[in-house]
Amino acid sequence: MTSINEAFLSDFSSMSSIGSTAGGGVDRQAATVADGQNRNWFRGLVEGHGFSVRYDSVGNQYAMLELVPGAPWIAVGSHLDSQPLGGRFDGAYGVLAGAHAAKRVEAALVFAKETARFNIVVINWFNEEGCRFKPSMMGSSVYAGKISAAQVLETTDPHGITVREALEAIGTIGDFELSVSAYVEIHIEQGRSLEDRALNIGLVESTWGANKYEFVVNGDQAHTGATIIADRQDALLGASALVVAAREIALKHSTAEHMVITSCGEFNVFPNSPVVVASRVNLLVDVRSTDPGVLAAADADLHARVGQIERMANVRIERGAEHVWGAKSYDRAGLKLAGEAADSLGLSHGVVRTLAGHDSTNMKDVVPTIMLFVPSVEGISHNERELTRNEDMIAGVELLSEVLLRVVKGEFISDSDPTQELATDTTVGA
């Protein structure tokens, strides 16, 4: 298998040059020029190998490899968009691995003189990262019916450009629709549990529960030089205290069994002038935990702290949009199938939970879904220094090929009813 693995690494290297940054990462935020270059590059790559490519109304890109005319479709995918100064593996690895795996499945079927029961579509979901346009996981959220295409198309970036305008500018929007019967995704772990346990592969058992809040801290604009402390309504002080409180809550509520993780990634100060007490800060805070009870306790604590901070900083804190995801499991039969496939290839593996959201987080709520992880060196992610070693990438492509082969042969879901119900209860815990 040497030459096909080299082909994968070569294609990955070519793709990584698109939107590349000086620090060894990429900047291919959703529907930017660089994302457009990459989407069109990927189209050229796979059309050269017999796929046909279409776009749906929110820019999801479908690369179809038809193995059996008229058969239902199973999907493999991830996302080609990146964070600003992001790593070159996050998402992009999974899409390219999907295309290579699909070709390997086709070749394996020919070699074994077997017939598939499903066709394969590789999906590049639009805007998984959610930095230029919010929220994240936009394309797969529309596919899963969680938000409407109309709402997505009107969403604007900080310069007032809509998703529709941005997608039209790079020529990657259409009206294609495709119903798929199952979903498989491979992604870098973005944590270090696989590396710490010296495993080749992570089989994702469940997502963590996450509560995300948009807070608006309202103070009153004043002169930093002339306004005494007693007269201040300092929005930046209130917002800063909220960031500090969020960390304190993570440390306080984490237990040996169930970790709590709190984050604030976006924090905008107005008017943000050196000599002005801030009138307003908008910030996003999220609270995550593997356990619903622990999450609820941490969340209640956060909201109690909001009242204390309002009094301390003499500000008013509004809670804006809120997104709540319960901890949910992936398909149990898929977990078993992937473990057996890894065993057949001699790859070490273990069960993991995903802290981060992925397109599969959406897809698992509408079709049977399998989610696989490959290791990230030191767990570094959303960073130009993000790294997955070549041997780990290759092991991942080999496993994905084996899993896909089993799925298209009907070992995961039946092809008799492509709209079948989810096989297992998807709620974890209480």
Candidates 59-67, 236-244, 342-350, 393-401; binding stretch for a second copy (CB under 8 A)? 236-244
Dihedral angle over CA of 53, 60, 397, 383, nearest 10:
130
Which three-class secondary structure state does DSSP give residue 167?
A: helix
Give the strands of the sheet with 201-207, arranged side by side: 52-55, 61-65, 119-124, 73-78, 180-188, 369-374, 201-207, 349-354
CA-CA distance, 82 to 130, in Å (whole number)?
9
Binding track over 343-362 against a second copy, x by CB under 8 A: -----------xxxx-----
Is residue 231 packed enough to be buried (19+ CB in 10 Å), middle (13-18) or exposed (0-12)?
exposed
Among the listed residues 5, 57, 218, 383, the single contact to a second copy using CB under 8 A: 383
| Closer residue to a second copy (CB): 162 or 254 | 254
Least separation in angstroms between residue 296's CB and a second copy is 19
Peptide bond between residue 135 and the one before it cis (omega within 30 degrees of 0): yes
Among 13, 272, 308, 427, binds a second copy (CB under 8 A): 272
Residues shown for the chain: 430
Question: At closest approach, how far in Å is the CB of 208 from a second copy?
Answer: 8
Give 161 or 243: the residue with its C-beta nearer to a second copy. 243
Instruction: List residues bridging with 263 in a β-sheet.
Output: 286
- The distance of closest approach from Cβ of residue 348 to a second copy in the complex, given in angstroms and rounded to an integer, is 21
CB of 191 to a second copy, least distance (A): 5
**Distance, CA of 102 to CA of 63 (rounded, Å):** 10
Pick from 11, 57, 84, 109: which binds a second copy (CB under 8 A)?
Answer: 84
Comparing C-alpha atoms, which of 413, 371, 375 is closest to residue 391? 375
Q: Does 382 bind a second copy (CB under 8 A)?
A: yes
- Report how many residues bind a second copy under the rule CB under 8 A: 70
Estimate to the nearest angstrom the gap between the alpha carbon of 47 and the chain centroid: 26
Contact flag: residue 190 with a second copy (CB under 8 A) = yes
Binding interface with a second copy (CB under 8 A): 83-85, 129-131, 134, 136, 189-192, 210, 220-229, 231, 234, 236-237, 239-244, 247, 250-251, 254, 259, 261-269, 271-279, 284, 286, 288, 313, 354-357, 379-384
